[in-house]
Amino acid sequence: MLQIGSTTSLLGLAGCAEFVGIEDEDPEPEPREPDWCIEEYDEPVPEAQETGESIDGIERDPDDLNSRYEVAYQCHPQGFQLCANCRYFILPDDDDVPIGACAIVDGRVRSQDWCGLYEHTERLDEPPDPAPFD
Ligand code: SF4
């Protein structure tokens, strides 16, 4: 008897959910490719950063750069390793936009990204762990 009552309640709830549109919610978004940001930020490096200096004082030579595809650039950090603490990162001009450049890699570089040429900045005593949760 109790079971019938519960079933009836559940059916009633299911009807309500349909009425308020809960079942019509958008499905989970598709995960993005690891290199999604390369095309999205495919724009020239600002003039001030073209020959800028990285956070460790390494000068950028615009005629001697690796492409982001060559260095397996990815649009997310590698554990605690990310462009923001890499010795080649050139700080953004605008503090509100965390997109800078790199002394050895072509194109716009986001502070939270990573590539295979990563080297931690001399400002850090210890290299950041690339797989902190293993
Ligand atoms: S991780 Fe790669 S792209 Fe990022 S700053 Fe370092 S060398 Fe440049």
Give burial (CB, 10 Å; 0-12/13-18/19+) of 91.
middle
CA of 79 relative to ligand 1 center, distance in Å: 14
| Mean pLDDT along residues 37-42 | 89
In words, the CATH class of domain 32-122 is few secondary structures
Global confidence as pTM: 0.78
pLDDT in tens, 48-98: 899 999 999 999 999 999 999 999 999 999 999 999 999 999 999 887 788
Residue nearest to atom 4 of ligand 1 (CA): 83
What residue spans define the domains of the chain?
Answer: 32-122
Task: Say which amino acid occupies 63.
Answer: D
Tokens, residue 43: 């724009």
Residues whose beta carbon lies within 6 Å of some atom of ligand 1: 83, 86, 88-89, 102, 104-105, 109, 113-115, 117-118
